């Protein structure tokens, strides 16, 4: 069993969480775009009422209708640590 990190996860710059209207779960997408690029895409989708299209680090596309976007959280990717921290 290997615990190596994949090269694709290292290219992620932002984590985007989208709350979609009429859905219980939110979408969480790791993308290679930075915060500014994601914010520009969201603003454009909302002002023009066109779907928001994001591509994750694995190449999968997510299409969210602008009218269904409840809220969006854009954050940097935090390195996940495993183990116990010393006090």
What is this structure's pTM?
0.73
pLDDT tens digit string along 19-46? Answer: 999 999 999 999 999 999 999 999 999 9
Walk me through the domains of the chain, giving residue ranges and CATH numbers: 10-76 (2.30.30)
Pick the range with the lowest mean pLDDT from 2-11, 41-50, 70-79: 2-11
Residue 43 CA to its chain's centroid (Å): 15
Question: Strand order in 14-20's β-sheet?
Answer: 27-31, 14-20, 69-76
Is residue 14 within 8 Å of residue 30, measured between CB atoms? yes
Q: What tokens were used for 39?
A: 């914010």
């Amino acid at each position: 069993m290997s615990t190596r990190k994949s090269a694709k996860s290292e290219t992620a710059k932002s984590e985007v969480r989208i709350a979609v209207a009429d859905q219980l779960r939110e979408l969480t997408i790791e993308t290679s775009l930075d915060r500014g690029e994601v914010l520009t895409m969201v603003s454009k989708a909302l002002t023009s009422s066109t779907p928001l299209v994001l591509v994750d680090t694995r190449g999968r596309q997510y299409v969210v209708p602008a009218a269904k976007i409840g809220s969006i959280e854009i954050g940097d990717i935090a390195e996940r640590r495993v183990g116990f921290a010393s006090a």
